[in-house]
């Protein structure tokens, strides 16, 4: 299934049915009187967060959603049938934005949340409604109210426990593939990850969700590269795992590049709990020296691991679990890592 996290859709609620003008006509009944019924109500346009979806790809092939109109009223005091609602089923974590793509209408963060985006029009009154002691034969009825038509944007922000950050080729996809059943694309050139990938990671009987975000480059907050398009997914993560390529000539510069992009992007990303890890230590000779430089730059303890050989991976997972679930302790660790 292809990944899509932004979609533009057009919606219209149903119009209400018109009221009826009708009079009772029966043999031997001299004064039948009015019996026109009311029109039915138009259907609503509803959006609902459901399980089993993690992309908005369905809205690429259908962008128009129109609810049914209400049926008109009829004689013999019969009310028209209400129009059927139409439901847009979206993944959990979807934001509903107005046409300006900035105003947030709703944020669906739980399964089963339902929001009415456009209410159907009310049905018009039939002439029976206007009968009174002074107007016993009204010849008027109301038309139904029109439906609401609007354009909205659906923006998906994946809900994960941990978000993977780093420059292109920092080893994020390799880490996700080594620790979960996810199978992201892995290659020896930059930007092999073009869309976020989700994987369920387990350690010591506990499981949590990890999101692999496309790599950031300098100037990403200004639109360079593709990583800035997906930083919104990191906003919902409980903690961040920042992988630094140990084979780089300047690990400190690589670290600061990503941190700068987080700070420039805003949204509180730079303040989230973060674990910094020197990756690819199986291909590095001066590991201790690079760990020392990196620790001095970030002001916190830096872990080391190799996603290829598996060295240090379990320790990193235990530290992440402690960060996202502070009430969980493990004998293998000295304590939870402090956010930087």
Residue 159 annotated as binding site: no
- CB 6 within 8 Å of CB 154: yes
Is 23 marked within a binding site?
A: no
Report pLDDT for 241: 93
Residue 312 lies in a domain: yes
Q: Are residues 141 and 213 in the same domain?
A: no
Order of strands, edge to edge, in the sheet holding 162-165? 197-203, 206-212, 162-165, 239-245, 274-279, 303-304
Residues with Cβ within 8 Å of 186's Cβ and at least 6 positions away in sequence, in order, are 173, 174, 177, 192
Is residue 196 part of an annotated ligand binding site? no
pLDDT tens per residue, range 216-259: 766 554 555 555 567 777 788 889 999 999 998 899 999 998 88
On whether residue 340 sits in a domain, the answer given is no
Q: 339 lies in a domain? A: no
**Is 215 annotated for ligand binding?**
yes
Together in a domain, 11 and 131: yes
pLDDT at position 173 is 85
Q: What is the number of structural domains in the chain? A: 2
Residue 278 is assigned to a ligand binding site:
no
Q: 285-324 pLDDT, tens per residue?
A: 888 999 999 999 988 899 999 988 889 999 999 999 988 8
Does 194 count as an annotated binding residue? yes
Quote the CA–CA distance of 340 and 302 in Å, as a whole number. Answer: 11
Are 169 and 152 members of one domain? no
Pair 139, 171 in one domain: no
Q: What is the CATH number of the domain that holds 218?
A: 3.40.50.300
Report yes or no: 18 and 124 within 8 Å, Cβ to Cβ: yes
Burial of 29 (0-12, 13-18, 19+ CB in 10 A): exposed
Would residue 181 count as lying in a domain?
Answer: yes
Q: Is 79 annotated as a binding residue?
A: no
Looking at the fold, whether 173 and 130 belong to one and the same domain comes out as no
Q: Closest Cα to residue 208, out of 145, 162, 254?
A: 162
* pLDDT recorded at residue 18: 97
- Determine whether the annotation assigns residue 112 to a binding site: no
Structure tokens at 324: 């996202």
- The response to whether 279 counts as a known ligand-binding position is yes
Q: How far is CA 179 from CA 66, 96, 333, in A?
A: 44, 33, 19
Residue 283 included in any domain: yes
108 has binding-site annotation: no
Query: What CATH number has the domain bearing residue 25?
Result: 2.70.210.12
Q: Among 138, 156, 174, which residue terminates a domain?
A: 156
Q: In this structure, is residue 51 part of a structural domain?
A: yes
Q: Are residues 94 and 26 in the same domain?
A: yes
Ligand-binding annotation for 40, yes or no, is: no
What is the structure's pLDDT at 181?
A: 72
| 256 within a domain of the structure (yes/no) | yes
The verdict on whether residue 17 carries a ligand-binding annotation is no
**Residue finishing a domain among 114, 134, 156:** 156
On whether 171 is known to bind a ligand per the annotation, the reply is yes
* Structural domain harbouring 213: 162-324
Those residues whose C-beta lies under 8 Å from the C-beta of residue 151, and which sit 6 or more positions away, are 8, 9, 10, 11, 99
> Are 52 and 152 part of one and the same domain?
yes
**Same domain, yes or no: 79 and 102:** yes
Residues 119 and 214 in one domain: no
The pLDDT value recorded for residue 189 is: 45
What is the pLDDT at residue 223?
55
Q: Does 195 appear as a known binding residue?
A: yes
Distance separating alpha carbons of residues 181 and 193, to the nearest angstrom: 16
Element (H, E) at 317: helix 313-324
Task: Check whether 203 is labelled as a binding-site residue.
Answer: no
Side by side, the strands of the sheet bearing 104-108 are 64-66, 6-12, 149-156, 94-97, 104-108
- Asked whether residue 94 is marked as a ligand-binding residue, the answer is no
Does 166 carry a binding-site annotation?
yes
Determine if residue 193 is labeled as part of a ligand binding site: yes
Shared domain for 182 and 200, answered yes or no, is yes
156 labelled ligand-binding: no
- Report the 10 Å Cβ neighbour count for 31: 8
Report the DSSP pairing between strands 303-304 and 274-279: parallel
SS (H, E, C) 71-118: CCCECCCECCCCCCCEEEEEECCEEEECCCCCCEEEEECCCCCEEEEE
User: Is residue 176 domain-shared with residue 286, that is, in the same domain?
Assistant: yes
- Domain boundary residue, one of 156, 187, 211: 156
232 is in an annotated binding site: no
Name residues of the chain where pLDDT drops below 50: 1, 189-190, 221, 329-340
**Are 166 and 307 contained in the same domain?**
yes
Residue 121, domain member (yes or no): yes
């Amino acid at each position: 299934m292809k990944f899509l996290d932004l979609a533009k859709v057009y919606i219209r609620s149903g119009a209400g049915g018109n009221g009826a003008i009708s009079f009772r006509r029966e043999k031997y009944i001299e004064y039948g009187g009015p019996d026109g019924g009311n029109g039915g109500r138009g259907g609503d346009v509803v959006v609902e967060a459901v399980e089993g979806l993690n992309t908005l790809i369905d809205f690429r092939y259908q962008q128009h959603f129109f609810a049914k109109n209400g049926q008109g009223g009829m004689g013999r005091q019969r009310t028209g049938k209400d129009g059927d609602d139409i439901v847009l089923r979206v993944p959990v974590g979807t934001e509903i934005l107005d046409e300006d793509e900035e105003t947030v209408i709703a944020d669906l963060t739980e399964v089963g949340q339902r929001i009415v985006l456009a209410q159907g029009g009310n049905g018009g009154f039939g002439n029976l409604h206007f009968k009174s002691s002074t107007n016993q034969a009204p010849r008027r009825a109301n038309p139904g109210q029109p439906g609401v038509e609007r354009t909205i944007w659906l923006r998906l922000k994946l809900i994960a426990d941990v978000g993977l950050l780093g420059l292109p080729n920092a080893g994020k996809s390799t880490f996700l593939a080594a620790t979960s059943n996810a199978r992201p694309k892995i290659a020896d050139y930059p930007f092999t990850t073009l869309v976020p990938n989700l994987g369920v990671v387990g350690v010591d009987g506990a499981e949590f969700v990890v999101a692999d975000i496309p790599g950031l480059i300098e100037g990403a907050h200004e639109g360079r590269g593709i990583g800035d398009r997906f930083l919104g997914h990191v906003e919902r993560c409980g903690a961040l795992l920042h992988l630094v390529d140990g084979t780089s000539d300047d690990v400190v510069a690589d670290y600061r590049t990503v941190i700068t992009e987080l700070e420039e992007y805003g949204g509180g990303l730079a303040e989230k709990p973060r674990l910094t890890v020197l990756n690819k230590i199986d291909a590095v000779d001066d590991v201790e020296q690079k760990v020392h430089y990196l620790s001095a730059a970030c002001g916190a303890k830096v872990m080391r691991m190799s996603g290829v050989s598996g060295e240090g991976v379990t320790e990193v997972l235990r530290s992440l679990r402690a960060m996202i679930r502070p009430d969980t302790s493990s004998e293998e660790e000295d304590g939870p890592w402090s956010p930087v």
